[in-house]
């Protein structure tokens, strides 16, 4: 094996993707342009990855020379990819940080519609977790505190009607669940 491949590096994450239950991209970032130089190759890899994982109960897969850890919830699949010699526990911590951050942003309602409605904040959370393949932060609460604009903090007079109704709906839902 080439000795350069085994040297420690900060560039641990090769890509992060969130796919829907049909394998279509919701959100994705690829950090290594040598592996996936074009969007077409990225989409081909995503389709292949989805086809291999959407029915599996595992949490990790080796595909096309990459270690991929993944997690599914309702109608979303979350993936974090690293090189074949990357530590799976580190990739899993990134995956958990991404999932937990999105869960906090969406108030535990992690589904396709919620992610699409808050796509801008979800993208910011992704950027706060990983920048250029280097892991920046894996604490979901600190990530959310840096990216989330809570409607609770906006004065009632400045909220839109939709925001007021959404806030009331969330409060009612949580009071019924208790």
Residue 98 pLDDT more than 80? yes
| Residue boundaries of the structural domains of the chain | 3-147, 154-178
Structure confidence by residue, pLDDT tens digits, 13-27: 999 999 998 889 999
Fold of 3-147: Beta-Lactamase (3.30.450)
User: Higher model confidence: residue 164 or residue 19?
Assistant: 19
> Cα 70 to the chain's mean position, in Å?
10
DSSP state, residue 86: S
Burial class (CB in 10 A: 0-12, 13-18, 19+), 98: buried
Structure confidence by residue, pLDDT tens digits, 37-75: 888 999 999 999 999 888 877 789 898 889 999 998 888
Residue 96 pLDDT more than 80? yes
CA atoms within 13 A on the CB side of 7: 4
Structure confidence by residue, pLDDT tens digits, 109-163: 788 888 888 888 888 889 989 988 889 988 888 888 888 665 455 555 555 666 6
Looking at the chain, the number of H-run helices and the number of E-run strands are 7, 7
User: Higher model confidence: residue 167 or residue 30?
Assistant: 30
Question: CB 160: neighbour CB atoms within 10 A?
Answer: 10
Distance CA 169, CA 178 (A): 15
Structure confidence by residue, pLDDT tens digits, 109-118: 788 888 888 8
Question: CB 135: neighbour CB atoms within 10 A?
Answer: 18
């Amino acid at each position: 094996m080439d000795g350069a491949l085994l040297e420690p590096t900060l560039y641990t994450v090769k890509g992060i993707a969130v796919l829907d239950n049909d394998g279509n991209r919701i959100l994705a970032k690829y950090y290594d342009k040598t592996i996936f130089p074009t969007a077409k190759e990225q989409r081909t890899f995503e389709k292949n990855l989805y086809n291999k994982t959407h029915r599996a109960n595992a949490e990790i897969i080796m595909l096309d020379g990459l270690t991929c850890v993944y997690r599914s919830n309702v109608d979303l699949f979350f993936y974090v990819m690293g090189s074949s010699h990357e530590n799976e526990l580190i990739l899993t911590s990134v995956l958990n940080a991404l999932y937990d951050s999105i869960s906090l942003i969406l108030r535990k309602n992690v589904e396709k519609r919620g992610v699409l409605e808050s796509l801008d904040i979800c993208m910011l959370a992704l950027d706060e977790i990983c920048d250029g393949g280097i892991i920046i932060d894996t604490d979901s609460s600190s990530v959310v505190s840096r990216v989330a604009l809570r409607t609770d903090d906006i004065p009632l007079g400045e909220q839109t009607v939709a925001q007021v109704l959404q806030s009331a709906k969330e409060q009612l839902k949580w009071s019924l669940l208790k």
